[in-house]
Amino acid sequence: MEDKIVLQDNAEIINRKLGLLLDTGCLLMECSADTTRIMRTLKRTIVYLGLRDENLHLCVNYDILMVNYNDDIHSFTKFKHCKRHIIDMAVISELSHLSWDSIEQNMPLDVYDEKLTELGKKRNRYTPWQVAIGSGFACGGFCIQFGCDWTAFFYASLAAILGFRLKMYMGSKGMNVYAGIGISAFVSTMLAWLLTFISVGPYADYFPTFMHTATPWHPFLACALYIVPGVPLINFVSDALDGHIQTGIIRALNTLLMVGAMSFGIACAIKICGISNFVTTLSMIPHHNYFEFAVAAAISAMGFSMIYNTPKRLLPAIAVGGIIAVCFRNFVNLGPSNHNIGLDQGLIIGSLAGSTLVSLIITRAQHWFHTPQQCLSIPSVIPMVPGVLMYRALFAFIEMSGVVGEVTVAMNNLIKASLVIFGIALGVTLPHIFVRGLLDSKQKKRLFNALAERDRHMLEQRA
């Protein structure tokens, strides 16, 4: 009888520990951590929970996590479904800290459970309007990168602010994610079109000169780029390179659906406006000085960081990362062939170089700021994501009418966008892969010391 009671108590404890493990993994997946980051944090959590790694089998997928814990006699299996997928860099960072604190402080299960529940609820670190304004100025920063003047920067920002706020409102009312993306892209594009009347057309004379812009069509290129799924794109490549193919493919398909919804909304707006030439002929080659590039990059990086719920303490570092990535990308990309200063190596090589440089710096900086590499590197390189090329490619396919060369234009944009995305993700991932061995050895040493310190405290308490 006593053996049965002991077994029942052990079973209850094991089931609770497995539940906490799944809660931790699901929260990371829901906040868009890459799979390697999830597995690394879960391994520390397994050590904290005192589960034998050789008896535990863990499967991490995009929508569901599964764990099995067994010995020669008993077997415990639990599943947990990921309810929604957002982007929250603060939760990813805080969960990493919690996994270390739980070991170093020998945290009781009740305390760990309470802290985990608080992290699951603590989602909004900025007000809705702060996020909308940040996203709007981020799109304005993109517009500067495409060659617009600073007056057009504000027009692109205004259209993006209102469109993104509408997207947030529709999301809060439970609207389908892809429908919300399409509608918000449509509204932002229509607003950008209405703002062109200030500078061109019969109504321009009614507005003061300082409100006129020499680049009235450039806001069309950037007003909906708050939708560009840069984090899933980078996570897709990172997962694929690390061998998590299934999760990576699901992230890629989700990205394609988001870009498709955005393209559909923009295409509908363009049809109503009767304007389509900017999609294929409007130049994206900028001719600003590098100081303006730096300002625009910092604005974009911090704006997207607000969308991603990045801790406020990291915003200055991310702004510097964005400046390094974009300015070095432009220096490698631009050159004499387009009347700029640089090496003239093209967008693909430039994007790879910019993301690699900033990632190399962040592999060291992550220890200064005590945060995972992903929380610094991804917001820093987001201003380089080729959102315009992506929806130009899809729009070209949508608008096909049988004219010779249409497929060539569409495929050119699609292939170039894909290679740029791959270059960015490769630049972010490879430096971390190369130094992972060194980082892992340091983390193993820290983990060993933490466990030794915990055991010492436990022995002192028993004595």
Residues 213-223 pLDDT 10s: 888 888 888 88
Q: Lowest mean pLDDT of 21-35, 74-88, 359-373, name the range.
A: 359-373
Q: Quick one: pLDDT at residue 440? A: 56
Q: What percent of the chain has pLDDT over 90?
A: 30
Is 60 exceeded by the pLDDT of residue 437? no
Is 70 exceeded by the pLDDT of residue 5? no
Residue 83 burial by Cβ neighbours in a 10 Å radius (0-12, 13-18, 19+): exposed
Q: Quick one: pLDDT at residue 362? A: 87
Confidence of residue 306 (pLDDT cuts 50, 70, 90): very high
Q: Quick one: pLDDT at residue 303? A: 93
In contact, 233 and 423? CB cutoff 8 Å = no
Q: Which residue has the tokens 């034998």?
A: 52
Q: Where are the domains of the chain?
A: 11-123, 128-440
Nearest C-alpha neighbor of 348 from the set 259, 292, 424, 296: 424
Q: Quick one: pLDDT at residue 349? A: 92
Residues 78-102 pLDDT 10s: 999 988 888 899 899 899 889 888 8
At residue 55, what are phi and psi to the nearest 5 degrees?
-100, 5
pTM: 0.85
Helices (H), 196-313: 218-222, 230-241, 245-273, 277-280, 290-307
Identify the sign of the CA torsion 35, 41, 44, 49.
Answer: negative
**Range 297-324 average pLDDT:** 92
Q: Quick one: pLDDT at residue 458? A: 56
Mean pLDDT (the chain, rounded): 84
**Range 99-116 average pLDDT:** 89
Q: Quick one: pLDDT at residue 64? A: 92
In contact, 276 and 195? CB cutoff 8 Å = no
Confidence of residue 317 (pLDDT cuts 50, 70, 90): very high
Q: Quick one: pLDDT at residue 4? A: 45
Residues 245-259 pLDDT 10s: 999 899 989 988 888
Q: Pull the structure tokens for residue 357.
A: 């440089």
Q: Pull the structure tokens for residue 154.
A: 């504000």
SS3 356: helix
Q: Pull the structure tokens for residue 180.
A: 């919300």
Q: Lowest mean pLDDT of 42-56, 209-223, 390-404, 414-428, name the range.
A: 390-404
Of residues 394 and 113, the one with the higher pLDDT is 113
Q: Quick one: pLDDT at residue 191? A: 93
Q: Pull the structure tokens for residue 170.
A: 């529709």
In contact, 376 and 318? CB cutoff 8 Å = yes
Q: Lowest mean pLDDT of 254-258, 373-377, 399-403, name the range.
A: 399-403
Of residues 217 and 165, the one with the higher pLDDT is 165
Nearest C-alpha neighbor of 428 from the set 367, 357, 340, 371: 357
Confidence of residue 11 (pLDDT cuts 50, 70, 90): confident
Nearest C-alpha neighbor of 97 from the set 377, 369, 454, 445: 369
Confidence of residue 435 (pLDDT cuts 50, 70, 90): low
Confidence of residue 438 (pLDDT cuts 50, 70, 90): low
**Range 136-151 average pLDDT:** 90
